[in-house]
C-alpha cells in the first residue's frame, strides 16, 4: 500500500527464478508476441484484400484472430516489463482492469466460435436460405454481441471487486486472473454466484451450443454424399480444434482458483503460459493451413515474397 498516493499494489508472485532468467524469459516472450501479431495479422490481411474471402465465415475468422491479438496485448506488454523489473508489481486497479480485459476477450472467443458454428450450420444444412439469414447486418450484430455481452457482464464484477477489502497482497500468478479472489479478506457468496452466471453465459452455454451445432451438422452430412461430408469436415474441424484447445486451457484457469491447495509454481507457470503463448499462435496456423481458400492465398503471398527476395 502506498499511503501517500493511496494506491494498493499487488505483487505478482507466480514467476519462477525471474531474476536469474529474466533476459531469456524476455526474449522468448518478445519473439512470441511478435509472432502472434505477425501471424494473426497476415491472415486478417489476406481476408481483407481478397474479395472471395469477404464471406461471413472468413469475416468471423478475421474477428477471431483480431481478438487473439487483443487478448495477447492485454497480457504480453506487462509481462515483458515485469521480466526486466526488480519487482513484479501492479496496482490493484490496473490488476482488475487487466483481469477484465483477459476474461472479456476470452468470453468473446467463445461467442465468436458460436457465431462461426451457426454460420456453418446454415451454410451446410440450409444452403438455399444462407444469403437470406446470414446478411451483413446479421454478421455485424453477431460481432458486436461477441464483445459487448461479456464486457457488460464483467464490468459489474470489476466494479464490485475494486472496492473489496484485501488481506493479502501477493497473487500466485504472472498476470491478473482468478487468483485475485484469493486476496480478499472474505469470500462473497453473491460475487461467487455472479461469477458462475457469467461463466455459464460466456463460456459453458456457448460451448454446448457449438458442440450441439456441429453434432447436428455431422449427423445431417453423414447421410449426404461424400462431397458434402468433405466440405463439412474442411470447414468445421478447424473450428472444433480451436474450441477444444481454448476450452481445455480455460477450464484450467477457472478451476485452479477453486482448489484448496496450491499446485507447484512451475506447473502453474507452464499451464498459464500455454494459455497466452500456445493458443494465440495456434489459431493462425490452424486457419492458415486447414482452411483451403486461406491456405491458397497464403501460399501465393509467400511465393511472391520469395520472388521479391
Express each pLDDT in 81-94 by its tens digit.
999 988 889 999 99
Q: What does DSSP say about strands 9-12 and 89-91: parallel, antiparallel, or unpaired?
A: antiparallel
Decide if 176 contacts 138 (C-beta within 8 A).
Answer: no
Secondary structure (3-state) at 193: helix
Query: What would you report as the CA-atom Rg of the chain, rounded to the nearest whole angstrom?
Result: 21
Q: How many Cβ atoms from other residues are within 10 Å of residue 273's Cβ?
A: 16
User: What ranges in 84-135 are assigned the alpha helix state H?
Assistant: 92-125, 130-133
pLDDT of residue 4: 43
| Count of Cβ atoms closer than 10 Å to residue 171 Cβ | 22
Q: Is 9 helix (H, G, I), strand (E, B) or coil?
A: strand
- Amino acid 264: pLDDT: 78
Rounded (5°) CA angle 181-109-132 = 145
* φ, ψ for residue 265, nearest 5 deg: -60, -40
pLDDT for 155-178, tens place per residue? 988 888 888 888 888 888 888 888
Contact 121, 235 (CB under 8 A): no
pLDDT tens digits for 51-81?
888 999 999 999 999 999 999 999 999 999 9
Model pLDDT, residue 195: 79
- CA-based nearest residue to 43, from 283, 231, 306: 283
Q: Note the pLDDT of residue 36.
A: 94
**Tell me, what's the pLDDT at 168?**
84
Could you tell me if 206 and 110 are in contact, meaning their C-beta atoms sit under 8 angstroms apart? yes
Write the CA distances from 58 to 122, 140, 244, integer angstroms.
15, 13, 20
pTM for this prediction: 0.89
pLDDT at 3: 44
Q: Which residues of the chain have pLDDT under 70?
A: 1-7, 187, 257-262, 305-309
Q: Which of 101, 115, 287, 104 is nearest to 176 (CA)?
A: 101
Domains along the chain?
9-308 (1.20.1070.10)
Amino acid at each position: 500500500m502506498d499511503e501517500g498516493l493511496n494506491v494498493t499494489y499487488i505483487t505478482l508472485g507466480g514467476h519462477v527464478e525471474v531474476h536469474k532468467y529474466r533476459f531469456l524469459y524476455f526474449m522468448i516472450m518478445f519473439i512470441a508476441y511478435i509472432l502472434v501479431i505477425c501471424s494473426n495479422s497476415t491472415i486478417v490481411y489476406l481476408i481483407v484484400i481478397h474479395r472471395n474471402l469477404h464471406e461471413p465465415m472468413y469475416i468471423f475468422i478475421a474477428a477471431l484472430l483480431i481478438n487473439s491479438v487483443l487478448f495477447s496485448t492485454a497480457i504480453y506488454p506487462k509481462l515483458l516489463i515485469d521480466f526486466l523489473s526488480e519487482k513484479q508489481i501492479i496496482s490493484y486497479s490496473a490488476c482488475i482492469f487487466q483481469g477484465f480485459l483477459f476474461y472479456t476477450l476470452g468470453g468473446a472467443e467463445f461467442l465468436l466460435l458460436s457465431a462461426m458454428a451457426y454460420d456453418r450450420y446454415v451454410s451446410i444444412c440450409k444452403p438455399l436460405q444462407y444469403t437470406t439469414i446470414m446478411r451483413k447486418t446479421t454478421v455485424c450484430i453477431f460481432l458486436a454481441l461477441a464483445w459487448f455481452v461479456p464486457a457488460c457482464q464483467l464490468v459489474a464484477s470489476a466494479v464490485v471487486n475494486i472496492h473489496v477489502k484485501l488481506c493479502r497482497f501477493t497473487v500466485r500468478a504472472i498476470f491478473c486472473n482468478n487468483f485475485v479472489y484469493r486476496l480478499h479478506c472474505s469470500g462473497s457468496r453473491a460475487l461467487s454466484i455472479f461469477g458462475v452466471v457469467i461463466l455459464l453465459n460466456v463460456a459453458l452455454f456457448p460451448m454446448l451450443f457449438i458442440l450441439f451445432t456441429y453434432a447436428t451438422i455431422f449427423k445431417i452430412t453423414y447421410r449426404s454424399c461424400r462431397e458434402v461430408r468433405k466440405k463439412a469436415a474442411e470447414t468445421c474441424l478447424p473450428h472444433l480444434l480451436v474450441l477444444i484447445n481454448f476450452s481445455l486451457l480455460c477450464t484450467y484457469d477457472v478451476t485452479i482458483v477453486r482448489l484448496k491447495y496450491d499446485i507447484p509454481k512451475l506447473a502453474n507457470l507452464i499451464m498459464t503460459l500455454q494459455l497466452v503463448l500456445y493458443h494465440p499462435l495456434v489459431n493462425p496456423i490452424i486457419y492458415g493451413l486447414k482452411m483451403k481458400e486461406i491456405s491458397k492465398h497464403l501460399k501465393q503471398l509467400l511465393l511472391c515474397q520469395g520472388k521479391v527476395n
